[in-house]
Amino acid sequence: MKETLRLAFIGSGTMAEAMIRIAIKAEVAVPQRIVASGPREERGQELHTRYGVATCTDNRQALTVDGGDVDVIVLSVKPQVMPTVLNELRGAIPPQALILSIVAGVNTKTIAQGLAHGAIVRAMPNTPAQIGQGMTVWMATSAVSEQQRDQARCIFQAMGEECYVEDEAQLDMATAVSGTGPTYVFLMMEALTDAAVHLGFSRRVAVQLVTQTVLGSVLFARQSGRHLAELRNMVTSPGGTSAEAIYQLDKGGLRTVLSKAVWAAYQKSVRLGAVVNGAASISASPPDENHRGEEERP
Ligand SMILES: NC(=O)c1ccc[n+]([C@@H]2O[C@H](COP(=O)([O-])OP(=O)(O)OC[C@H]3O[C@@H](n4cnc5c(N)ncnc54)[C@H](OP(=O)(O)O)[C@@H]3O)[C@@H](O)[C@H]2O)c1
């Protein structure tokens, strides 16, 4: 499979580049069997120079590479662009191809209807995939063969950890937790670094203190297997500095703010998809109120 897999990327932005880099590094595919499609020729040139992959500006052209039909077609465009892309590709998908969509919010029903093609994997990766430390949550439609599942799993494992879910609603939930997750962590690290600078540390030292503290805490939590509250209690001596800090964090509503942020991201994911999912169901079938209700259920 490693030597023969042909991969197409429809949309060659940040996530596509991360996946291309990791697919080549992990030998999931060879550069001459990868093709990246996007509207800007200069972006294609950039990717060709960096990775040696084929590029094009016509999405349909990306369905063949190195003299053969592609095996996996990664949809890596923004949700708003999906209706255009689905229209362009409809009727041209090689029958044996697997569609692998990482597009936030757009559901498999919409993609299947839009492309008239059943074998679809929907996935939500995140940016640490760039260094093989990503978290990808994914599901597959019933038309996806065992071999295609293995191909998808192989790609996700090269990107880091993967978690298969049966319920598609969990893809929007994962978008808010792990897909958007690096944002919460980076923002928290940035705020901690600024606080350390405010205390008087140089920025270089502040960055080192914060980065290693976060990294060490994550590894410690993983290795110990203990509940996070237990680990936190271990650092919180009575009347000590942690207790004082936690009092302020609780007073400032950190938990509530985080919970609200995740909920807002979840709702945004559903809303972004609903525009496309709604448009697809309007053109393909009468509006289905129950289906829309499903999208809003966490
Ligand atoms: N970034 C993340 O952390 C993350 C994580 C998980 C999932 N995702 C999902 O991954 C998808 C891509 O995200 P991204 O961050 O990679 O976005 P991005 O960097 O904006 O990439 C999207 C790419 O699609 C291209 N494009 C625009 N119109 C197109 C068309 N008609 N046909 C083909 N390509 C077209 C864009 O080209 P131009 O730049 O020339 O417009 C751009 O290169 C999104 O749906 C997002 O929800 C992102």
- Structural domain contains residue 84: yes
Q: How high is the pLDDT of residue 294? A: 36
Query: Residue 8 in 3-state DSSP?
Result: strand
- Structural domain contains residue 174: no
Residue 172 pLDDT exceeds 70: yes
Cβ-based neighbours of 27, under 8 Å, separated by 6 or more: 2
- 11 Cα to the center of ligand 1, angstroms: 6
Residue 298 pLDDT exceeds 60: no
Residue 2 pLDDT exceeds 80: no
- Structural domain contains residue 159: yes
Same domain? 39 vs 153: yes
Contacts 24+ apart (CB under 8 A), 24-31: 24/51, 24/53, 25/132, 25/158, 26/132, 26/158, 27/2, 28/2, 28/154, 28/155, 28/158, 29/2, 29/5, 30/3
Positive or negative CA dihedral for 31, 35, 36, 40?
positive
- 19 Cα to the center of ligand 1, angstroms: 12
With cut-offs at 50, 70 and 90, classify the pLDDT of residue 68.
very high
- Structural domain contains residue 207: yes
Same domain? 34 vs 89: yes
Residue 270 pLDDT exceeds 80: yes
Residue 293 pLDDT exceeds 70: no
For the record, the structure tokens of 286 come out as 């009468």
Q: How far apart are CA 120 and CA 255, in angstroms?
A: 36
- Structural domain contains residue 293: no
Same domain? 158 vs 191: no
Are 12 and 47 a contacting pair, CB within 8 Å?
yes
Residue 288 pLDDT exceeds 60: no
Residue 217 pLDDT exceeds 80: yes
Q: What is the number of domains present in the chain? A: 2
Cβ-based neighbours of 193, under 8 Å, separated by 6 or more: 203, 206, 207, 210
- Structural domain contains residue 233: yes
17, 78, 89, best to mutate for ligand 1 pocket (most atoms within 8 Å of CB): 78
Are 3 and 30 a contacting pair, CB within 8 Å?
yes
With cut-offs at 50, 70 and 90, classify the pLDDT of residue 274.
confident
- Bridging pattern class, strands 160-164 and 134-140: parallel
Q: How far apart are CA 178 and CA 286, in angstroms?
A: 34
| Mean pLDDT over each residue of the chain, to the nearest integer | 91
Residue 283 pLDDT exceeds 50: no
Are 92 and 101 a contacting pair, CB within 8 Å?
no
State if residue 226 touches ligand 1 by the CB under 6 angstroms criterion: no
**Got the DSSP string for 233-264?**
HHH--TTSHHHHHHHHHHHTTHHHHHHHHHHH
Cβ-based neighbours of 56, under 8 Å, separated by 6 or more: 35, 36, 37, 44, 62
Same domain? 121 vs 195: no
- Closest CA relative to residue 282, chosen from 113, 59, 142: 113
Residues 150-177 have a mean pLDDT of: 96
- Structural domain contains residue 62: yes
With cut-offs at 50, 70 and 90, classify the pLDDT of residue 278.
confident
The domain that holds 63 is classified in CATH as 3.40.50.720
Q: What is the pLDDT of residues 96-141, one digit of tens each?
A: 999 999 999 999 999 999 999 999 999 999 999 999 999 999 999 9
Residue 67 belongs to domain spanning: 7-168
- 15 Cα to the center of ligand 1, angstroms: 7
Q: At what angle do helices 254-284 and 289-296 cross, to 10 degrees?
A: 160
Same domain? 70 vs 114: yes
Same domain? 143 vs 248: no
Same domain? 17 vs 148: yes
Are 91 and 116 a contacting pair, CB within 8 Å?
yes
Same domain? 217 vs 94: no
Residue 279 pLDDT exceeds 80: no
What percentage of the chain has pLDDT greater than the value 90? 86
- 217 Cα to the center of ligand 1, angstroms: 33
pTM, entire model:
0.89
Q: How high is the pLDDT of residue 297? A: 40
* Residue of 237 and 189 predicted with greater confidence: 189
Residues 189-216 have a mean pLDDT of: 98
